[in-house]
């Protein structure tokens, strides 16, 4: 059972060499029945996620634990049930949810897994648009941002798993939407493929405040924040009265020893802005409603979704590390096996 394990805890930016491919672990492909309700799965698609960096530090004082050194990393993925001690799952079912960065995993709390009912769409989508990332965009945009037709929306890390969907949801809601991303290729995708009204490369802007004034001469109603830091700072001085900010993630800060301060916070007060943090897992009760909306949109080609596929478990460390330099174009997925 090949596994990707964490060698040591990380300071600053993670490197491929912080992880190791362990080829020596073995696993029994039959569960000892009657002893637990665990489920044995074969992992198919693994999701690389920015938050995983926090778990590479020894203590994170957060709502999730650090990874255990020498043990496989864990995260979101899509898998096939090989054996089951749980009445909700049977051999051959496809599931998505928390699993290990390894070929086969024993899931001891299978209640956390979602059974995949619609298999007429690519299975890898459940590691993104039809899984945690789709729910993040959906709950964050519709519930937290409460969009109204005609509003001005800004999305950062806009080509990423979450950002590409938020921008398209904003267009479907009749909003004007601008995205930022870190390469020319990504800016072109935003304008020509995902249907954003405008897009810019934040790495080419000396002055983010001036860039936002150029794209939003009348200010921003909704900011879907994936990056935090200097971009959040600049948005705050361009936010409109009664603006809303969904504090989704702050990927620009995850590898810094000391987080950058936000100086413009007073605009939240003077402009009665609602800035709301949210954790997607608290919205999972809305998943059936989301599937009802998104599956027809995918099938009708009304939502575009781009994946960046890395082949083989051994490519997982590089794929994960690449998130922090923006190497991924679209949702970063690792293929461990195809069924
Ligand atoms: P992405 O697919 O967007 O990958 C990360 C992207 O972030 C990179 O491609 C890169 O794109 C950008 N990036 C990396 N470093 C920086 C930096 N220093 N400054 C600005 N941009 C940077 O990831 P996701 O869509 O999966 O996640 C987006 C955000 O949402 C993350 O912050 C994540 O932690 C958060 N999140 C929050 C959840 C919640 O429940 N609140 C759930 C899921 C995700 P570029 O080329 O544009 O720089």
User: Same domain, yes or no, for 180 and 145?
Assistant: yes
284 close to ligand 1 (CB < 6 Angstrom): no
147 close to ligand 1 (CB < 6 Angstrom): no
User: Same domain, yes or no, for 153 and 56?
Assistant: no
Residue nearest to atom 22 of ligand 1 (CA): 252
User: Same domain, yes or no, for 149 and 106?
Assistant: no
243-302 confidence digits (pLDDT tens): 999 999 999 999 998 888 888 999 999 999 999 999 999 999 999 999 999 999 999 999
Domain of 268, in residue numbers: 132-281
74 close to ligand 1 (CB < 6 Angstrom): no
- The model's pTM: 0.97
Question: Does residue 160 lie within any of the structural domains?
Answer: yes
User: Same domain, yes or no, for 98 and 192?
Assistant: no
User: Same domain, yes or no, for 93 and 191?
Assistant: no
Residue nearest to atom 39 of ligand 1 (CA): 279
User: Same domain, yes or no, for 37 and 53?
Assistant: yes
129 close to ligand 1 (CB < 6 Angstrom): no
47 close to ligand 1 (CB < 6 Angstrom): no
User: Same domain, yes or no, for 182 and 323?
Assistant: no
- The CATH code of the domain that includes 228 is 3.40.50.720
pLDDT of residue 219: 98
Q: In what order do the strands lie in the sheet with 239-247?
A: 198-201, 176-181, 152-155, 220-225, 239-247, 274-277
Residue nearest to atom 18 of ligand 1 (CA): 252
DSSP state of 102: B
User: Same domain, yes or no, for 184 and 246?
Assistant: yes
User: Same domain, yes or no, for 42 and 120?
Assistant: yes
Question: Does residue 294 lie within any of the structural domains?
Answer: no
Q: How far is the CA of 166 from the centre of ligand 1 (A)?
A: 13
Closest CA to 288 of 110, 135, 94, 87: 135
Judged by phi (left if over 0) then psi (alpha if -120 to 50, else beta), residue 202 lies in alpha
Is the ipTM reported for this complex over the cut 0.95? yes
321 close to ligand 1 (CB < 6 Angstrom): no
Dihedral sign (CA 177, 181, 184, 189): negative
112-130 confidence digits (pLDDT tens): 999 999 999 999 999 999 9
Q: How far is the CA of 68 from the centre of ligand 1 (A)?
A: 24
* Residue 62 reports pLDDT greater than 70: no
Residue nearest to atom 47 of ligand 1 (CA): 181
Question: Does residue 109 lie within any of the structural domains?
Answer: yes
- The CATH code of the domain that includes 23 is 3.90.180.10
Question: Does residue 229 lie within any of the structural domains?
Answer: yes
d(CA 81, CA 277): 34
Q: Could you give the number of structural domains in the chain? A: 2
Query: Residue 48 CA: which ligand 1 atom is closest?
Result: 26
User: Same domain, yes or no, for 314 and 276?
Assistant: no
User: Same domain, yes or no, for 211 and 247?
Assistant: yes
Q: How far is the CA of 297 from the centre of ligand 1 (A)?
A: 24
- Give the pLDDT band (50/70/90) at residue 59: confident
Question: Does residue 83 lie within any of the structural domains?
Answer: yes
164 close to ligand 1 (CB < 6 Angstrom): no
Q: What share of the chain is helix, strand, coil (3-state, %, to 5)?
A: 30, 25, 45
Closest CA to 320 of 307, 333, 330, 329: 333
Question: Does residue 295 lie within any of the structural domains?
Answer: no
User: Same domain, yes or no, for 158 and 274?
Assistant: yes
Question: Does residue 262 lie within any of the structural domains?
Answer: yes
Question: Does residue 176 lie within any of the structural domains?
Answer: yes
């Amino acid at each position: 059972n090949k596994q990707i394990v964490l060698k040591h805890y990380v300071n600053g930016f993670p490197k491929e060499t912080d992880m190791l491919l362990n080829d020596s672990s073995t696993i029994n492909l039959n569960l000892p029945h009657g002893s637990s309700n665990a489920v044995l799965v074969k992992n198919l698609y693994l999701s690389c996620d920015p938050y995983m960096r926090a778990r590479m530090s020894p203590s994170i004082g957060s709502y999730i634990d650090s990874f255990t050194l020498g043990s496989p990393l864990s995260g979101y993925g899509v898998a096939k049930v090989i054996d089951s001690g749980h009445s909700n799952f049977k051999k051959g079912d496809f599931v998505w949810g928390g699993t290990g960065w390894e070929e086969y995993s024993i899931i001891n709390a299978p209640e956390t897994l979602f059974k995949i009912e619609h298999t007429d769409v690519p299975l890898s989508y459940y590691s993104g648009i039809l899984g945690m990332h789709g729910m993040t965009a959906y709950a964050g945009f519709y519930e937290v941002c409460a969009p109204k037709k005609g509003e001005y929306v800004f999305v950062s890390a806009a080509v990423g798993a979450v950002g590409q969907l938020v921008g398209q949801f904003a267009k479907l809601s009749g909003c004007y939407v601008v995205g930022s991303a870190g390469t020319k290729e990504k800016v072109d995708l935003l304008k020509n493929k995902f249907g954003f009204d405008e897009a810019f490369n934040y790495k080419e802007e000396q002055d983010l405040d001036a860039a936002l004034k150029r794209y939003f001469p009348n200010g921003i109603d909704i900011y879907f924040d994936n990056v935090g830091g200097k971009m959040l700072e600049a948005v705050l001085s361009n936010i409109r009265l009664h603006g809303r900010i969904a504090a989704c993630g702050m990927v620009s800060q995850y590898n810094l020893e000391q987080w950058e301060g936000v100086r413009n916070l007073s605009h939240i007060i003077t402009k009665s802005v609602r800035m709301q943090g949210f954790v997607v897992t608290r919205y999972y009760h809305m998943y059936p409603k989301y599937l009802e909306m998104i599956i027809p949109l995918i099938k009708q080609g009304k939502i575009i979704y781009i994946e960046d596929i890395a082949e083989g478990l051994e490519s997982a460390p590089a794929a994960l590390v690449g998130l922090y330099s923006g190497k991924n174009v679209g949702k970063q997925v690792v293929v461990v096996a195809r069924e």
